[in-house]
Structure 1
């Protein structure tokens, strides 16, 4: 069976062309010949060749190889990824080696050995395909990186003094490779800040990779970040690259760094300090080049508690520290943010005719939004989905603040002495209050709160969004 491949032989010796074509057409699907080098540009314009066999000398008495060098450079100028094998006379190895320095892939000497010529061409064709696949993969990755950055990036909305200070810190630190630690409550937009840092950095054309450390179990932490080799542990059926290597050249965002146990903090510190990673089951370390951005909802006081967070790791992570204020501390930004999400979800759910009164916007502005932007966004999306009229009302948002005039659904229960004691019987509010108390008890540590409530982290997040916590 013939091997797929389009070969071009360029030589002024008609006997060589005839012998070469007879030999190669039995092994490859297409073979073209050319005895006039000046025809090469037109041939390249009309066809794509997997391999070009190019003679070093053209014309009687020529032996310097200058003509071969000229046409080698010409071909590579027209098509830089060409696979070119030089044909040289016996004893012209030095000239052929010089040609390889200029971009030739290999050479064969005349008189050639048939088996060696076929083997050399087969190898060259495989090399060409590997290069093409690598180039296609590189281009695909570039497109995916650009698409990912564009599709997930949302604007930082608002002009409150605190948000303007955040913008200034981003602008000053983004062009550097300094590690950045972003502090703030849940839902304040810490990943948004991390992505903005990436977009304004010199690494913007490379990958931005986000890892939620709170969602990575302790047993899988090393495999997830450092990678592993096949057979490193039960279930490791194949090699896997870790996130640190996968983000090489780009930015690695480690969210919820404060939830990482102390012993894993030590392992992360070692890797970041050495700038090289050893996958589980491997014997050698691999260097990596990433810019590390971290985020946590822990307070500064908690971060400085050595029983919670290693101080040597903290020093390495917070070269620059950015504090994101909660939404309730920048109320002037609430209405612009709400208007953005209203327009977004009107378009998404095909309800462009929905009207929003100033009273509704004012009501949104007066809310505490303990879940911050995430809670506001969720409330708006739900209101637009469930709205049955063309006018969004306060009731559509299920707001509960006393300033909105909503009544608490209380019931009465008799105490032992006959007095009436008000208690809460609304299941939704009981759930909300319980979650709020647990979050406050554990200082908004999601892992500890979820454990006490008997929920998974994902389930707790869903309930926090549901209740605007």
Structure 2
């Protein structure tokens, strides 16, 4: 990354330092933000991630440990930021500054700094950050999970904590968010990774196949049972069993499943001999199980059995910053598949993707990019190559109450929807919003919409 393309945050309680750093960098960088109070870091990072942070080691704040810089450094990393961080320190803080490198800081500089040296250090750090991203663009939990947003960082951290245990996991999320990838990531990082991983879409099993598929059957147990067969529970012995769409099974099937989980043994159809099972269970659904339980459509005792730990996978529209990351990943994947290596996404294509609401989540993005790769003629994917699925409907989203009633948020969302609807045509978008082009441009600048 070049300095001219970088967003920089400067955190220091000394106004003179903030002013000096801002004046030095504002003509060099894309954007420079200054902040006196580190207590505001969470709010700042919730709005955007920065490429680089310059942060003082000491503040006149509520954190009086003598090493405030380390405290706030950890907080930034806990927020999931991958920003390069330069600690600004006085001579007496050198030991703390060295410790900060072990805690994840990228560099430290002494006050007062030399302007040329500071600029050079920043350029080198941004270059290293770009090279590192080219190899590993985002934190992953294996199994194809990608995400640098705070929402996905929380998911990945939870997976890292719970995977080595034998706790039963319930993965919740809308269709297309990647619940099966989460299940496989848990398996890969578990102590059972050497054992089998068995996946079953229990919601798709018919009444007659449910028990046979899950628990197995003996020869002659029913008309077409020509030979003995083990079920998915027995096949997953020593490993992990993933039951997808668990919310779609009937009450009597839930009762049978509960019995197996309680007794840790299965009995095949046509047999009276129980077989012990040793599995780790991961379930997933896009349905609200608690609501189903309140409506007497799902057993509460089964929820307790399958939900020792719950992972909620966020929809793509709430994964700020992940759309571009995932899109570039799919471009590379399908570029290689369809013999079009080196394909790039132009900025206008990225803007088009970021303006879309993706009701079909990551799955819809994946299919849109695959089609775009196939249809592209040149060395880059243009906005015209990106067509969103007509299968997905905006009605389900627009029928819901807005997540915020803040007027600025509502106005910004209305502008984004109008621009998307009119394929980026500002004149048409302004007309639909009842604004002049000039008034719309002012609002685009106000909300930092490119």
1:177 Cα offset (Å): 0.5
Structure 1: 4+ residue segments shifted above 4 A: 435-438
1:207-243 C-alpha deviation (Å, 9 max, x unpaired): 1111011221121000000000111011111111100
What secondary structure, in the 3-state scheme, does the structure 2 residue paired with 1:369 have? coil
1:227 aligns with 2:216: yes
Q: Name 1:367's counterpart in structure 2.
A: 356
Q: Which structure has the larger Rg?
A: 1
Q: Name 2:371's counterpart in structure 1.
A: 382
Q: Name 2:146's counterpart in structure 1.
A: 157
2:265 aligned to which of 256, 276, 279: 276
Q: Name 2:201's counterpart in structure 1.
A: 212
Q: Name 1:254's counterpart in structure 2.
A: 243
Alpha-carbon distance in 2 for matches of 1:293, 1:162? 21
1:187 aligned to which of 167, 176, 181: 176
Closer, same or farther: CA 308–170 of 1 in aligned 2, 3 Å: same
Alpha-carbon distance in 1 for matches of 2:218, 2:387? 51
Alignment of 1:59-458 (within 5 A): 154-299=143-288, 301-399=290-388, 433=393
1:432 Cα offset (Å): 5.2
> Which range moves more in the overlay, 387-396 or 162-171?
387-396
What secondary structure, in the 3-state scheme, does the structure 1 residue paired with 2:262 have? helix
1:343-386 C-alpha deviation (Å, 9 max, x unpaired): 01101111014332011112112211111000100110111112
Q: Name 2:446's counterpart in structure 1.
A: none
Alignment of 1:30-49 (within 5 A): none
Contact 1:379 1:397 in 2 (8 A): yes
What secondary structure, in the 3-state scheme, does the structure 2 residue paired with 1:308 have? coil
Contact 1:276 1:285 in 2 (8 A): yes
Q: What TM-score does the superposition give when structure 1 sets the normalisation length?
A: 0.53
Contact 2:170 2:308 in 1 (8 A): yes
Alpha-carbon distance in 2 for matches of 1:269, 1:301? 17
Closer, same or farther: CA 185–352 of 1 in aligned 2, 3 Å: same
1:388 Cα offset (Å): 2.8
Alpha-carbon distance in 2 for matches of 1:397, 1:215? 32
1:436 Cα offset (Å): 6.3
Alpha-carbon distance in 1 for matches of 2:303, 2:341? 47
What secondary structure, in the 3-state scheme, does the structure 2 residue paired with 1:375 have? helix
> Which range moves more in the overlay, 361-370 or 336-345?
361-370
Contact 2:143 2:184 in 1 (8 A): no
Alpha-carbon distance in 2 for matches of 1:373, 1:252? 24
1:38-78 C-alpha deviation (Å, 9 max, x unpaired): xxxxxxxxxxxxxxxxxxxxxxxxxxxxxxxxxxxxxxxxx
Q: Could you list the runs of 5+ residues in structure 2 that have no partner in the other structure?
A: 1-141, 401-450
Alpha-carbon distance in 1 for matches of 2:275, 2:295? 30
1:181-223 C-alpha deviation (Å, 9 max, x unpaired): 0000001111111111111110001111110112211210000
1:301 Cα offset (Å): 4.2
Aligned length: 259
Contact 1:331 1:365 in 2 (8 A): no
Q: Could you list the runs of 5+ residues in structure 1 that have no partner in the other structure?
A: 1-152, 400-427, 442-469
